[in-house]
A and B are shown apart, each in its own frame.
With several copies, the nearest count.
Chain A
Amino acid sequence: MENKMDLSFSAKSENESFARVTVGAFLAQLDPTMEELTEIKTVVSEAVTNAIIHGYDNDESGMVYISAVLRDNEIEIVIRDEGNGILDIDEAREPLFTSKPELERSGMGFTIMENFCHEMKVVSEPLLGTTVYLKKQLTKSKAICR
């Protein structure tokens, strides 16, 4: 049977680490490898950081929303903000593209998410906010060694 959780929190940068660990702790129920756990935590960090600094321009009164579903050997994560939104999603997803070069952003957030997940979808509406859908299958090699 599937297991789901929803989490929301203030758009404060201190909460990035909290969000990583929370999603990681939830995923731990599928007993992933350390590599898979690190990948998921990295992906969550990137998406949450984007919501805080791009979505809300660091306005801490904003809220970041995460839902996660565990199903068989798969985790589905949705990370959402109600912030600025993205005008041109294709451009935003390009490697190295950043709208905030002054913050020394790498422009690699979306590229990292895409690489560490099996599926990624970005839906965004200027002034309404951004939603990132992520899906990752875990390796099943573990099952063999039971």
Chain B
Amino acid sequence: IGEIQRFLRDDGTVKVSRSIKELSNKIRKAKDDLTKEYRRTPTVNEIAIHLGVTPEEVVFAGDANRSLTSIHETVYE
């Protein structure tokens, strides 16, 4: 089943849940990097510019770790 899932997803039907998870990980890393660089918490715009996405996307994806658990549960379990 894992194989089929991977195949279907890579075949143009990439699920939002996975793609957002990736962005969410990038946001976490950017936050760490920029905190070290600026010696303070970065702003939403700073992270957005750093990753080349809109500030709203940062907010949306940044919530993924919380909300995806529930999406994951309903969809895949």
Contacts and interface: CB of A to CB of B under 8 A. Distances in A.
Interface of A: 14, 17-18, 20-21, 24-25, 27-29, 31-35, 37, 41, 139, 141-142, 144-146
A31 B15 contact: yes
Contact of A35 (B5, B13, B71): B13
A41 B64 CA distance: 13
A37 B54 contact: no
B41 interface: yes
B8 interface: yes
Interface residues of B, number: 37
Contact of A31 (B12, B39, B55, B60): B55
Contacts, number: 102
A18 B58 CA distance: 12
A33 B63 contact: no
Interface of B: 1, 4-5, 8, 12-17, 19-20, 31, 38-45, 47, 54-60, 62-63, 66-67, 70-71, 75-76
21 contacts: A17-B54, A17-B70, A18-B56, A20-B56, A21-B54, A21-B57, A21-B63, A24-B60, A25-B56, A31-B17, A33-B12, A33-B13, A33-B15, A34-B15, A34-B19, A34-B62, A37-B59, A141-B8, A145-B39, A145-B40, A146-B38
A33 B1 CA distance: 18
A37 B23 CA distance: 15
